[in-house]
Amino acid sequence: MKATWRWFGPSDPVSLDGARQAGAAGIVSSLHHIPDGEAWHDDAVRLHSDLIRAAGFTWDVVESIPVSNDIKVRGPLWHQHIDNYKASLAAVAAAGVKVVCYNFIPVIDWARTDLRYPLPSGLALRFDLTDFAACDLFILERGNAAAAYDAAMLEQAEQRFRAMSPERKAQLEATVLAPLPGGTIAYSRKGFMETFARYEGITEDDYRATLLDFLREVVPVAEEYGVRMGIHPDDPPINLFGLPRVAGTSEQLRRIVSGVKSPANGVTFCVGSLGVRAANDLPAMVHELGPDIHFAHLRNVKRESATIFHEAEHLGGSSDMTAVVFALRREELRRRAEGRHDSDIPFRPDHGHLMLDDVDKAGTRPGYSAIGRLKGLAELRGVIHGFDLAVRQGLSV
């Protein structure tokens, strides 16, 4: 497994030199200054690639080339944005990048209700469905929002909202509408409502069909250029705002991979996202989806209840990270025996805790501080080393 590090570009407070000191061997990055739907041109990609190469790294994964709302809802710019996506794939391939991670989550790319939840190990990201519902119902006041929740949740959300201070209400709204770290869209309340209206009424089958239409267009181009695309699971993998999410279970991921059969169509295996659902057997999912896993996000979550989770330490939480890593290493050995050129699966330590000197450091993105990820990467490299040592000694793992 190749240890990589997410780098947000020259403005990232964690430098490429810092990534090297943390133990990374490759870089995961994107062109965050280009708006969703626009084409990435060769010159811009080459400039970014040159920065990474000058620091002694390879650019292993693009995370991500964003999928625009016009693509997700087949809007008036669908054809133009599809063509731009194909051009972007060609540009990153010309720069030597072989893996593109993307998501197909409606409206907002991720959802959290607290970005600095205190734990003994530092400050963590957290999601509480009651807080989320309170925001949806009583702060955003989304029309027909009540239809998305059962009676018990409606009552709990109202009680939670009434107990909130004005400061907490403002903080919660900003957190729910916050863009994915590095994302290009930060919604105002008005902007969110306008975008949501474009999705309203879409069913799960409709949304999956649109995803597969997108893949039928772009996967042949990715295959032509030797690029492997990996869909990131929904984060979290539950329906929010009453909208369907289609990439959160083994069945859903299987339908995506089988819907457009190609070595260029696969999965980004995110332990944290998939681990939110207790029914997901993560090592079994690696075994099933293994040939189509092109990239891995290794982070862990602690399920506090059926509706609450927080980002845990990498080897803590509710998922058996060691079992997942061992399953990924077995998949790599299988690929090597098969003679696949992509036998090494790039991974990155995702969403470290904010801790020690990073707590007050300006510009740090939630989940992407230096020390928390350094700690996680060190632990994960230890697990990988333990697997390899056991294999060399002929032990069963």
Burial class (CB in 10 A: 0-12, 13-18, 19+), 190: exposed
- Out of 32, 48, 351, 353, the active site residue is 351
Read off φ and ψ for residue 124, nearest 5 degrees.
-125, 165
368 is catalytic: yes
DSSP H or E segment with residue 302: strand 300-303
Q: Cα–Cα distance between 80 and 373 in angstroms, integer?
A: 38
Closest CA to 160 of 128, 130, 136, 115: 130
Q: Cα–Cα distance between 243 and 106 in angstroms, integer?
A: 7
Q: Cα–Cα distance between 288 and 285 in angstroms, integer?
A: 5
Burial class (CB in 10 A: 0-12, 13-18, 19+), 321: buried
CA 155 to chain centre: 32
In order of 75, 103, 136, 370, the CA distances from 114 in angstroms are 32, 22, 15, 20
385 is catalytic: no
Q: Cα–Cα distance between 67 and 62 in angstroms, integer?
A: 13
Four-CA torsion 119, 303, 113, 72, nearest 10 degrees = 140
Q: DSSP states of 6-47 as a string? A: E---TT-SS-HHHHHHHT--EEEE--TTSPTTSPPPHHHHHH
341 is catalytic: no
Token reading at 228? 């492997």
What angle do helix axes 370-392 and 321-338 make, rounded to 10 degrees? Answer: 60
207 is catalytic: no
270 is catalytic: yes
310 is catalytic: no
- Out of 70, 109, 292, 350, the active site residue is 350
- Out of 32, 297, 310, 314, the active site residue is 297
Q: Cα–Cα distance between 387 and 397 in angstroms, integer?
A: 7
Given a contact cutoff of 8 angstroms between Cβ atoms, the answer to whether 27 and 37 are in contact is: no
Closest CA to 345 of 285, 279, 257, 286: 286
Which residues are designated catalytic? 232, 270, 297, 350-351, 368
